Chain A
Amino acid sequence: MHIAVVLKQVPDLVEELEIDSAGTDIDRSFLKMKLNEFDDHALEQAVLLKESAGAQVTALALDSDGVDQVLHSAVARGADKAIKVAAGDGPFASRQAAPALAAAIRSLNVDLVLTGVQAADDVFGQTAPFLAAELGWPHVSVVSGVEPAGSAVRVRQEYSGGRMAVLEVDTPAVVGVQAAPQSPRYVPISRLRQVMAGGPPESVTATAGAAPAGTMVVALAKPEQAGGAEMISGSTDQVAERILALLSERGLLRG
């Protein structure tokens, strides 16, 4: 089985996000980026399949600042190969990214594409279903486990209330990964150095799709209710005292 894993960096949400002067995007000048958490799980899932079923894993990412590092890390974690897809200056919405990714994937002869289920920075939808439509392949998202099953894969799809189903999807297929069966492993630093010494990842060019027609972001802002909570300040002891008083007033102490 040949698996392509699609990787993307997103702003680290623990950091403060500033809005740009136009008021329609985040200010990208001092942004700390990290690998999308769900992509991290998609990569882990791919490497687990490689270990259990002998798959070949290719990591793919659209070219952007810092992408070499992301791809090198993927190889250090177990991907066999990394490919940078140069599609011009982004950032691209998932729907624009899909045709470029699909072109690269078609030339690779893969059986399975894994992406993260969603990315926090894209309001116009999720990549996995758009990519599946481009490729004309079946698709399942919100998946937390993939196993080989002959010319298909078995995936575990999650629903609300803790319900789940196992579905079988003929390959080639596209799967949006929510979580791998185990936590993503760390990048071994010595291995990373070795990979980096091999030079930048292979690059291919592809054409991104047009921006979604008929819709646009007219404003990006902090939520109106921001600071809805009354913030309790002071020393740890003062805060604890205040919380105790709040719980006691409302009859919420045990007993």
Chain B
Amino acid sequence: MGKVLVYVETTGDTVAPVTFELLAAARALGGEVEALVAAPDPGLVAAQLGGADTILTMAHPALAPYLPEAHVAALAEAIKSRNPDTVLVGSTSTGIDVAAGAAAASGRPLVAYCLGLEPDGGAVVARSQVYGGKLVATTRTEGPAIFAVLPGAFKDAAGRAGGKGQRALLEPPAALGALHTRFVSASEPEPGIDITRAERLVSVGRGIGGPENLELAEELAQALGAEIAASRPVVDSGWLPRQRQVGKSGMTVKPKLYFAVGISGAPEHLEGMRDAELIIAVNSDAAAPIFEVAQYGTTCDLFDLLPALSERLKAATG
């Protein structure tokens, strides 16, 4: 498989978990594994990348805080100078900018939303989640290409160590000195309830219909001693606060119980909850992808089931 280049995603000086998964995926593809660290001062990040054979560092002040334009230029430059066969980028928020941007700049094809990658002769066979997780597309790619890999698709262990630890410096491209994007400010999630600490979550999706029906879920949560969580559309509609959002752009939770109500199970939602110990899902669509990760499911109408269940729980727990 020649050479695989991994784009290293970071939060401050911390390597994002998906990066170790990408390094593991790169290792499994075979061949040399290179990792690109594009940062003002790449040293601290580079020191965390024991899974790479060669750590490529590109230093420039414009590389943090994150700007899509700057990181696209950095990755495109690394592709040009290192000419890897395969490039792996996390299918994260930043990955959307970076993978497609670098694909366009380098003229390489992009295969997005990858769940699995396998070498096949000189080609790469990838499985990708499409149609909101209802279908899986298998693609076959010959020649140089970029793959955007979903967080959680690979185990990170094999990507944390075992590399040769060589270093190489890359010259930053001139474009970094003439950017059209500027950083203004950043914000962390608002303080308040922390759903990542809850042992039990009742999580509400768009199937709940409207804010007037939330009390059905709140009643169930109370009977279970659970906190309320939500999918993104529920939060975007203003029915519940942002701190309660589970998924790609929300929180990642691992409660003992995740009780999903009226949630379809889009990949961006599953990313935040698939590792819960017990998942029970209520969804009237038997083909909803939430049932792929749930241990138990029912197609009962939530408006019938929730009151019936709350009543029984109250009777059982007094």
Q: Mark A79-105, 1 if CB is under 8 A from B, else 0.
A: 000000000000000010000000000
> Of the candidates B66, B92, B151, B257, which one forms a contact with A165 in the assembled complex, judged by CB atoms under 8 Å apart?
B66
Q: Is the interface of A mostly helix, strand, loop or mixed?
A: mixed
Indicate if the CB atoms of B184 and A166 lie closer than 8 Å: yes
Which of chain A's residues has its CB closest to B306's CB?
A: A240
Indicate if the CB atoms of B130 and A123 lie closer than 8 Å: yes
In the bound complex, residues from chain B placing their C-beta under 8 Å from that of A134 are 104
Indicate if the CB atoms of A230 and B297 lie closer than 8 Å: yes
Indicate if the CB atoms of B65 and A165 lie closer than 8 Å: yes
Once A162-B242, A215-B140, A252-B200 are accepted as A-B contacts, the answer to whether A228 and B294 lie under 8 Å apart by CB is yes
Which of chain A's residues has its CB closest to B222's CB?
A: A254
Which of chain A's residues has its CB closest to B247's CB?
A: A160
Which of chain A's residues has its CB closest to B285's CB?
A: A14
| A178 CB–B CB distance under 8 Å | yes
> Of the candidates B129, B131, B299, which one forms a contact with A17 in the assembled complex, judged by CB atoms under 8 Å apart?
B131
Q: Mark A207-233, 1 if CB is under 8 A from B, else 0.
A: 000001111111111111111111111
> Of the candidates B101, B128, B142, which one forms a contact with A139 in the assembled complex, judged by CB atoms under 8 Å apart?
B101
In the bound complex, residues from chain B placing their C-beta under 8 Å from that of A144 are 236
Give chain B nearest CB distance to A110 CB in angstroms: 16
| A22 CB–B CB distance under 8 Å | no
Q: Please report the C-alpha to C-alpha distance between residue A18 and residue B180 in the assembled complex, in whole angstroms.
A: 44
Indicate if the CB atoms of A239 and B298 lie closer than 8 Å: yes
Interface size on A, residues (CB 8 A): 89
In the bound complex, residues from chain B placing their C-beta under 8 Å from that of A165 are 65-66, 183-187
Indicate if the CB atoms of B181 and A121 lie closer than 8 Å: no
Indicate if the CB atoms of B295 and A230 lie closer than 8 Å: yes
In the bound complex, residues from chain B placing their C-beta under 8 Å from that of A132 are 101, 104
Indicate if the CB atoms of A247 and B257 lie closer than 8 Å: yes
Once A163-B186, A163-B187, A239-B305 are accepted as A-B contacts, the answer to whether A158 and B93 lie under 8 Å apart by CB is yes
Q: Please report the C-alpha to C-alpha distance between residue A162 and residue B241 in the assembled complex, in whole angstroms.
A: 11
Q: Mark B122-156, 1 if CB is under 8 A from A, else 0.
A: 00010011111111111111111100100100000
Q: Is the interface of B mostly helix, strand, loop or mixed?
A: mixed
Q: Mark B104-134, 1 if CB is under 8 A from A, else 0.
A: 1100111111000000000001001111111
Indicate if the CB atoms of B97 and A167 lie closer than 8 Å: no
| A189 CB–B CB distance under 8 Å | no
> Of the candidates B133, B226, B245, B295, which one forms a contact with A162 in the assembled complex, judged by CB atoms under 8 Å apart?
B245
Interface size on B, residues (CB 8 A): 105
Indicate if the CB atoms of B313 and A244 lie closer than 8 Å: yes
Once A213-B109, A232-B297 are accepted as A-B contacts, the answer to whether A164 and B187 lie under 8 Å apart by CB is yes
Once A164-B186, A247-B257 are accepted as A-B contacts, the answer to whether A129 and B137 lie under 8 Å apart by CB is no
Which of chain B's residues has its CB closest to A250's CB?
A: B278
| A200 CB–B CB distance under 8 Å | no
> Of the candidates A11, A41, A117, A133, which one forms a contact with B104 in the assembled complex, judged by CB atoms under 8 Å apart?
A133
> Of the candidates B110, B141, B287, B300, which one forms a contact with A16 in the assembled complex, judged by CB atoms under 8 Å apart?
B287
Which of chain A's residues has its CB closest to B281's CB?
A: A229
Give chain A nearest CB distance to B138 CB in angstroms: 4
Which of chain A's residues has its CB closest to B290's CB?
A: A229
Q: Interface-forming stretch among A52-60, A61-69, A70-78, A168-176?
A: A168-176
Once A17-B135, A159-B94 are accepted as A-B contacts, the answer to whether A253 and B317 lie under 8 Å apart by CB is yes
Which of chain A's residues has its CB closest to B236's CB?
A: A179
Indicate if the CB atoms of A121 and B291 lie closer than 8 Å: no
In the bound complex, residues from chain B placing their C-beta under 8 Å from that of A212 are 109-110
Indicate if the CB atoms of B294 and A176 lie closer than 8 Å: no
Indicate if the CB atoms of A130 and B100 lie closer than 8 Å: yes
Q: Please report the C-alpha to C-alpha distance between residue A123 and residue B136 in the assembled complex, in whole angstroms.
A: 10
Indicate if the CB atoms of A254 and B223 lie closer than 8 Å: yes
Give chain A nearest CB distance to B237 CB in angstroms: 5
| B252 CB–A CB distance under 8 Å | yes
> Of the candidates A121, A128, A168, which one forms a contact with B131 in the assembled complex, judged by CB atoms under 8 Å apart?
A121
| A126 CB–B CB distance under 8 Å | yes
| A138 CB–B CB distance under 8 Å | yes
Q: Top 10 nearest A-B pairs by Cβ distance?
A: A254-B225, A133-B104, A162-B189, A129-B100, A229-B297, A215-B141, A229-B294, A125-B110, A170-B180, A138-B180
Identify 15 residue pairs between A and B in the complex whose beta-carbon atoms are under 8 Å apart, listed by A's number: A123-B112, A123-B139, A129-B104, A132-B101, A137-B180, A159-B94, A162-B250, A163-B187, A165-B65, A215-B141, A215-B142, A222-B134, A229-B281, A240-B305, A247-B224
Q: Add 8 more A-B contacts to A215-B109, A247-B224 (CB < 8 A).
A: A13-B134, A125-B99, A132-B101, A164-B187, A169-B181, A214-B144, A222-B135, A227-B292
